[in-house]
Chain A
Amino acid sequence: MSLQIEISLALPGRILDIHTDLPKGGCLALYGPSGVGKTTLLRVLAGLQQPQRGSVLFDGKPWLDTDQRLLVPPRSRRVGFVFQDFALFPNMTVEGNLAFAQPRPDAARRAYWLALTGMTAYAQRSPRELSGGQMQRVALARALASEPQLLLLDEALSALDSRLRADLQDALADILAETHLTTVLVSHDPGEVFRLATQVAHLQPDAPTRYGTPREVLLKTNTLGRYALAGQVLLIEPAGVQARVVIAIGIETLTTLLNHDEAAALKVGQRVSVALNGASAMVSAA
């Protein structure tokens, strides 16, 4: 059940190229900033969208070949797609969503998938009554219930808070290990990629796609021992011979001292890059 991808995607103002092979049971992460074309690539793999040029081979069988005008429709590909917004059917219960997905009705298998995702207690609930994390689990259970040959996860965990995300990463890692499903994962979260992926395609808006293991791709991006964090200036105020500058980084804030010339060059609201010395980072359990 290997996956061979060779796709050229025309995006506004640029071409995104990706060519990679994923062995059976592997997990490929499409990693990169938002807007780089990751979701579009995933939709191409599902057959929901067509690239300008390219081919997709699954288990040796062509799913897409633009040169030969060949396109296998999504319903014949047997992919389990977990959408970023989960796309649960609101007119069906949780179990109804799974039943709809099954190739043939099988209550025992439904119970198995619900148990695996920890959603047994919610089988008769409406999707509207679920939290984000629960919806994510149901979306995953539904994708698995369709007995897919290939699992596609689109930023599946990005909508969740960090603690829930860590829990679900664990659950997802266990499920992938248990099912041996070949998986393609879209993410901009290095933690998720490191935990789940066996190989990474690092997509960048202004550079060619880089390939490798999570270790090769993710650790290579930090050179010179300084770790650049994207932040935004919140506050600049004089503090004696220095200036105090507060910067928002994700959901945290960081206060530092700069000299007056450096502080004067910054504006409140400005996007900045904060370099931290990796060796100086103090780490303790949260």
Chain B
Amino acid sequence: MNRIPARLLTLEHEHGVTLIEAEAQGQVFSAMLVGDPPDLASGAPVTLAFKETEVAIARNLGGEISLRNRIPGTVLALEEGNLLTRVRFAFAGQDVHAVITTGSACRLALAPGVAVEWLVKANEMGIEC
């Protein structure tokens, strides 16, 4: 699980679905929750939580994409397995991990120092408070 400290910006609720925007190091993150909105005010500290397996990696991404969480970064290290590969980035002075298939890691020619974007779908972004 990746955890990033953040600050609540907005909170919208309709039909049992809540959309949250939170900011960390100038980067805005979106999270979608089903259920009643948490009892939080704008500016409240929250923690963004998302699993390594829910992080996608893109290189030279062009065109439009629906994913709202799209963060530029640089690959720090790779840990390669037969099927899965763990990729480490730095974000705001802490480590963020992605677990993707080794096939995709090869296709993207990932290596330490390569500039990429990492992406998380709002539905897979969790909030802890």
Question: Which residues does A use to contact B, with CB under 8 Å?
Answer: 219-220, 222-226, 240-242, 257-259, 262, 275, 277-280
Contact indicator A225/B81 (Cβ below 8 Å): no
Are B99 and A257 touching (Cβ within 8 A)?
Answer: yes
Q: A241-B99, A278-B35 are in contact. Are A224 and B126 (CB under 8 A)?
A: yes
Sample of 5 further A-B pairs with CB below 8 A, known A240-B84, A241-B85, A259-B1: A220-B36, A224-B35, A225-B32, A257-B99, A277-B124
Contacts A257-B53, A277-B124 given; indicate if A223 touches B35 (C-beta within 8 A). yes
Contact A280 B33 (CB under 8 A): no
Contact with A along B75-98 (1 / 0, CB 8 A): 000011111111000000000010
Contact A240–B35 (Cβ < 8 Å): no
* A17–B86 alpha-carbon span in the complex (Å): 52
CB of B66, distance to nearest CB on chain A (Å): 15
Contact partner, A224, options B33, B52, B53, B79, Cβ 8 Å: B33
Q: How far apart sit A225 and B80, CA to CA, in the bound complex (Å)? A: 33
Q: A12–B42 Cα gap in the complex (Å)?
A: 42
Q: For residue A240, which residues in chain B have a CB less than 8 angstroms away from its CB?
A: 81-84
Given known contacts A224-B38, A225-B18, A259-B52, A241 and B123 CB-to-CB distance under 8 angstroms: no
Question: CB distance B84 to A279 under 8 Å?
Answer: no
Which B residues contact A (CB, under 8 angstroms)? 1, 18, 32-38, 52-53, 79-86, 97, 99, 123-124, 126-129
B interface SS class: strand
The 5 closest A-B pairs by CB, nearest first: A225-B33, A240-B81, A241-B86, A278-B34, A241-B81
Take A219-B35, A225-B35 as given contacts and tell me if A279 and B123 are in contact as well, using a CB distance cutoff of 8 Å. Answer: yes
B79 contacts A241, CB within 8 Å?
yes
Is there an interface contact between A224 and B127, defined as CB atoms closer than 8 Å?
yes
Residue in chain A with minimal CB distance to B129: A224
The answer to whether A242 and B99 have CB atoms under 8 Å apart is: yes
> Complex: how many Å from CA A278 to CA B81?
31
Chain A CB count within 10 A is highest, among B1, B35, B99, for B35
Check A277 against B36 for contact (C-beta < 8 Å): no
* Contact in complex: A242, B126 (CB < 8 Å): no
A-B contact pairs, 10 of them (CB 8 A): A225-B33, A242-B53, A242-B86, A258-B1, A259-B86, A259-B97, A277-B124, A278-B35, A279-B33, A280-B124
User: Which residues of A lie under 8 Å from residue B84 when comparing CB positions?
Assistant: 240-242
Note all chain A residues with C-beta closer than 8 A to B124: 277, 280
Pick from A219, A262, A275, A279: contact of B32, CB under 8 Å: A279
**Distance of A258 Cα from B1 Cα, bound (Å):** 7
CB distance from A159 to the nearest CB of B (A): 31
- Give the most central of B36, B80, B86, B127: most A CB within 10 Å: B36
In the assembled complex, the CB of A265 is this many whole angstroms from the nearest CB of chain B, namely 11
Give CA–CA (A105, B83) in the complex, Å. 74
Give, as a whole number of angstroms, the nearest-CB distance from A229 to chain B.
15
B124: min CB distance to chain A, Å: 7
Complex CA–CA separation, A258 to B84 (angstroms): 13
Q: Which residues does chain A contribute within 8 Å of B79, judged by CB atoms?
A: 241
